[in-house]
Structure 1
Amino acid sequence: MTGWYGGYGGYGGYGGYGGHDHDDDPDGYVEGTSGADTIDGSYTGDPEGDRIDHDDAILDGETGDDDIVLAGGGSDSVDSGAGDDEVYGGSGHDTVEAGSGDDMISGGSGNDDLSGNSGNDVIYGDSGSSPSPVREDFDWDKLHDYYGNSLSYGEGIYNQTQDTGQVNVTFTTFKYGSPETTYRDDTQNIDGVRPEDGGSVDSTSGMMSYLDQKGETATYRFDFSAEVDDVSFRVNDIDLSSKVIIRAYDADGKMVEIEVDAGSKVIATDEDSVDGTETLLSGVPNSDYSPTSGQTSALITIPGPVTRIEVIHTQVAHGTSGILLTDMSYDVTPDYVDGSQTTSSDGNDHIDGGSGEDTLFGEGGDDTITDGAGADISYGGADRDTFLGGSVGDHVDGGESGDDHDTLDLRGLNVTVEEDPTDAEAGTVTFYDDNDNVTGTMTYENIETVLTDPTNDGIVMGTGGNDSIGTGYTGDPDGDRVDHDDAILAGDSGDDDLILARSGDDTVAAGEGSDEVYGGAGNDSIGTGSAGQALDHEIFDGVPYESGADQRDDLDLVYGGSGDDTISTGDDADTIFGGTGDDSIDGGIDDDLIYGGAGNDTIDGTQTGSNLGSLGNDEIWGGSGDDSIVAGIDLFSDYSGDDPNLPYAFDPSATSDPNPEDEKDTVYGGTGNDTILTGDDADLIYGGSGEDHIYGGIDDDTIIGERGADRIFGGHGSDSIEGNSGDDVIDASAATSGTLYANEPDATDPLPDNDRDVVSGGRGNDSIITGDDDDTLYGGSGDDTLDAGIDDDRIYGGRGKDVIQAGSGDDVADGASGDDSIAAGAGADLVTGGAGNDTIANDADGDVDRIFGGGGRDVITGAGIGDEIDGGSSGDDYDTLDLTGAAPTGGRIEIKYTSADQEDGEVEYYDANNNLLGKSTFSDIENIVPCFTPGTLIATPRGEVPVEELQEGDRVITRDNGMQPIRWIGTRHLKGGELLQARHLQPVLIRRGALGHGLPERDMVVSPNHRMLINNDKTALYFEDREVLVSAKHLTGLSGVERMATERTTYIHFLFEQHEVVLSDGAWSESFQPGHQTMDGLGNAQRNEIYELFPELKKQEGLQGYSAARKTLKRHEAELLTFD
Structure 2
Amino acid sequence: MPTYVIDGYAVGSIVVTGGGTPTTGSTFRLDPNWSASAAALTVTVTDDDTGFSGSAATVLDGGQTGVVITAAGATVGSGVIRLGNGFVFSDPVAGSVTLYQVMIGSSVVGYVTTAPLQPGVMYTVTSTLATTAAGVPYGSLALLDYEQGDDNSLTGGSGNDSLRGGDGADTLSGGAGNDTILGGAGNDVISGGAGNDSLSGEDGDDRFLIVNASGIDSVFGGAGNDTISYAGATTGANVLFTGTGSGSQNLVGVTATTFSGIEAFEGGEFNDTLNASLITASVTLSGNGGADTINGGGGADALFGGDGADTIAGNAGNDLIDGGSSNDFLYGGLGNNTLVGGAGNDWLEASTGNDLLEGGEGIDSLYGGDANDTLYGGGDADSLYGGNGNDFLDGGDGNDLIDGGAGNDTLRGAAGNDSLYGQGGVDTFLIGDNEGVDALFGGASTDVLDTSLATGGVTVTYSGSGTGTVATVGTTATFSSVEALQGGAGNDTVFGGSGAERVNAGDGDDLLYGGAGSDSLAGGAGNDTLYAGSGTDTLLGDEGDDTFVVNPGDGTVNIFGGTGNDTVDFTAIGTAVEVDFSGAGAGITDIGPSDVSFSGVELIRTGAGNDTVNGGAGADRVETGAGNDRIFGGAGADILSGEDGRDSIEGGDGNDTLIGGAGIDTLYGGTGLDVIDYSASNAAVNINLRTWTATGGHAEGDVLAGVDGVVGSAFDDTIIGFDDESTSAGDFYYNIFEGGAGNDLIEGRGGSDALFGGADNDTVLGGDGNDTVDGGDGNDVLTGDAGNDTMSGGAGNDQLSGGTGNDSMDGGSGDDAMDGGSGNDAIAGGEGNDTLLGGAGNDTMSGGAGRDTYVFTPGSGSDVITDLDLTLIEGQFADRLDVSGLVDGTGNPVNWADAVVTSDGAGGALITFPGGETIRLVGIDPALISDKEDLVALGVPCFTTGTRLLTDRGEVPVEAIRAGDLVMTADHGLQPVIWAGGRHLDAAALASQPLLRPVLIRDGALGNRGDVLVSPNHAVLAEVDGAEMLVRAKHLAETGDARFRIAKGRREVGYHHILLERHGIVFAQGMATETLYPGPMAVAALGPAVAAEIALAFPLLAPVLAGLAEAELLYGPTARPVAKRRQLLSGPNPNRRAAA
Give the number of the structure with larger relative contact order, counting CA–CA contacts within 8 Å between residues 6 or more apart.
1
Q: Same fold (TM over 0.5)?
A: no
